[in-house]
Structure 1
Amino acid sequence: MFKEFKNFIMTGNVIDLAVAVLLAGAVGMVVNGFVNDIMMPIVGYFTGGVDFSDMKIILSEAVMAEDGSVATPESAIRYGAWINSIINLVIVGFVLFMIVKSYNKVRKKEEPKPEAPKGPTQEELLAEIRDLLKKN
């Protein structure tokens, strides 16, 4: 069983998948940094300085203890964070679209392979066999 597992893990597909997952994590960090540090301030600028992450509907206020600590945290619907997630999704989708589009332009297009020379058809071969059998 260990040998089968070792053979499975050492196949090219599993190693390629592991590399792809690691690269996807790194690319995800870069894209999230781009969205959070570059695009969201631009979106905030054009929306009049609105920070979507602060938008929420408070269902119940936080209750403070006498010593100043939070006894019961507030309960709120944070729809602004959801709006940020949607904007993030759209920007990430656009960036990935641009990456794939540029990759497809750079990638060398496969030249069509010349067709193999056509040999005799099945009927011709059967006719030759029949003729050879008649001669014998």
Structure 2
Amino acid sequence: MSLISEFREFVLRGNVIDLAVAVVIGAAFGKIITALVDGIVMPVISMLTGGVSVADWKFVITPAQLDAAGKQVAAEVAIRYGMFFQTVIDFVLIALVIFMVLKAYNRMRAAPVAALPPEDVLLLREIRDSLRK
């Protein structure tokens, strides 16, 4: 079997294609949730905290250094915990929505029907039952 035919067989298996589709849909879904967080959730939180953007929350370790002309000589060193907080909210919302979708999917999925035993097992059971009589 050639390398190309093996690769084609690998790619055309159902689970590889399903995984690729899931990755693309997941990436698009992540963008939707990020837009929700950035455009709706964070402005509401900013409004509740006095109009300061959550992404701008930070703890300044050393402020920016300016020269006499007002030109920045050294950049500010700060711990930007607001960006971290915003990313955590983004992750929690994505995880919550995925959990709810999976929960609904599992609820809708029908319970597997018990498979009938093979013919030889049925025949052996019938023989056993007739011997008991």
TM > 0.5 fold call: yes
TM-score computed with the length of structure 1 as normaliser: 0.68
C-alpha separation in 2, matches of 1:3 and 1:65? 67
Question: Which deviates more from structure 2 when the two are superposed, residues 31-40 or residues 57-66?
Answer: 57-66
| Residue aligning to 1:131 | none
User: Which AA in structure 2 matches 1:55?
Assistant: W
Moved more, 91-100 or 15-24: 91-100
Give the corresponding residue for 2:105: 103
Residue 119 (str. 1) matches residue 123 (str. 2): yes
CA distance in 1, matches of 2:97, 2:51: 24
Deviation at 1:92, TM superposition (A): 2.2
Secondary structure of 2:61's aligned partner? strand
Which has the higher Rg, Structure 1 or Structure 2? 1
Structure 2 counterpart SS, 1:53: helix
Tell me, what secondary structure is at the counterpart of 1:115?
coil
Displacement, 1:64?
Answer: 4.1
RMSD between aligned residues: 3.0
| 1:58 partner SS | strand
Shift of 1:25: 0.7
Q: What is the CA–CA distance in structure 2 between the aligned matches of 1:93 and 1:42, rounded to whole Å?
A: 21
The answer for the alignment partner of 1:86 in structure 2 is: 88
- Is the Cα–Cα contact under 8 Å of residues 33 and 90 in structure 2 kept in the other structure? no
* From 60, 63, 87, the counterpart of 1:61: 63
Give the 3 Å change call, closer, same or farther, for CA 39–99 of structure 1 in structure 2: farther
Q: 1:112 to 1:10 in 2, by over 3 A?
A: closer
Inter-partner Cα distance in structure 2 for 1:96 and 1:31: 11
TM-score (normalizing by structure 2): 0.70
Q: Which amino acid aligns with 1:72?
A: A
Secondary structure of 1:112 counterpart: coil
Name the SS of the counterpart of 1:120 in structure 2. Answer: helix
Q: Which runs of 5+ in 1 are unaligned?
A: 125-136
The sequence identity of aligned pairs, in percent, is: 34
Which residue identity does 2:110 align to in structure 1?
K
